Amino acid sequence: MKVVFFGTPEFAVPSLEKLLNHPDFEVVAVVTQPDKRRGRGNQLTPSPVKTVALTHELPIWQPQRVKKDTETLDLLRQTQADAFVVVAYGQILSQEILDMPKFGCINVHGSLLPKYRGAAPIQWCLYNGEMETGITTMLMDAGMDTGAMLLKVHTPIALMDNAEQLAQTLSVLGADLLIETLLKLQKGALTPIPQDSSQATYAPLIKKENYSLNWSRPALELHNQVRGFFPDCVATFRGAPLKITSTAPITPEMRSQLPSELRVLEEKWFDLSDRTTSPGEVVAVVKGIGPLVQTGEGLLLLQKVQPAGKRAQSGLDFANGMRLAVGEVLQNGE
């Protein structure tokens, strides 16, 4: 089966590598987003997918707008590919492109469709506290993740998973499901299932305001925000931004899901729960563990943070280095 691969970020790499290493598929070209300037040197940097494609000496096309780029459209037609595979490419494909390959355009999407259609399904499912997610392969149509579904695979979400960790899990599951999907399509062994749009939910692009932490919200909601929008959530500490990248909600409801090394905080929670404190107030700095902050409901352990202009560090190192005092108040993010 001749395949053109459309993809850009690290999430797409396992799928491309699976195709390249499978004897039943020939990747004839890769389409990825244009190189972007990154890092301190502001150097043009290829996408993770382009990096893999370069090592395999594949043709690489990087149009600014693929559906308007006549040269790329001509090249795509000339491939006479059996399928276009699309994994987190980052651009909308036109109907003209969707109609080119024999078996259509196959998308690997990081949610259990029709839930979490859109650009950031992994982030929003964590933000909303979902206990399960998965991968859906589908036949693409002109809508935003509205095409008929082909196969699904489910995976549980642990309390301490963040978006980066969950993406790594799903990218591997997605690569395996892609191969199964293509092989079954080739054999005519799949029946596409239309999505029930009445059950659809959406996962839009994340905006700057989504990163701001508000201490009046419950601890579990704040924890889900931090892990969902990892690593960019921010509070304010002594007038400066403080990135908070890892937390744990210390509440009675969550005790059974906490890692074993944090179970010692159960006793601490009961000691502190009757105190009258304000949201954002540091209620304790637990020896060997880190600072506990009062929220609108329950306590939040700061496990990892990054002060403005400094490297990421553990919450305990931050508390010790800043001489964080009980009673000091962290403000909401700006």
The reply, when asked if residue 213 is annotated as ligand binding, is: no
Type of residue numbered 174: G
Contact at 8 Å (CB) between 151 and 180?
Answer: yes
Residue 52: its H or E element? helix 48-55
In this structure, how many other beta carbons lie within 10 angstroms of the beta carbon of residue 223? 28
The rounded distance, in Å, linking the Cα atoms of 96 and 80 is 14
Contact at 8 Å (CB) between 179 and 153?
Answer: no
Q: Classify strands 105-109 and 83-87 as parallel, antiparallel or unpaired.
A: parallel
The reply, when asked if residue 185 is annotated as ligand binding, is: no
Sequence-distant (≥ 6) Cβ neighbours of residue 309 within 8 angstroms:
none
Contact at 8 Å (CB) between 7 and 58?
Answer: no
Place of tokens 């969950």: 166
The reply, when asked if residue 252 is annotated as ligand binding, is: no
Q: What SS3 state is found at 156? A: strand
Q: Tell whether omega for the bond before 218 is within 30 degrees of 0, i.e. cis.
A: no
The reply, when asked if residue 249 is annotated as ligand binding, is: no
The rounded distance, in Å, linking the Cα atoms of 226 and 165 is 13
Give the CA angle between residues 71, 13, 15 to the nearest 5°: 90
The rounded distance, in Å, linking the Cα atoms of 313 and 302 is 10
Residues contributing to the annotated binding site: 111-114
Residues contributing to the annotated binding site for (6S)-5,6,7,8-tetrahydrofolate: 111-114
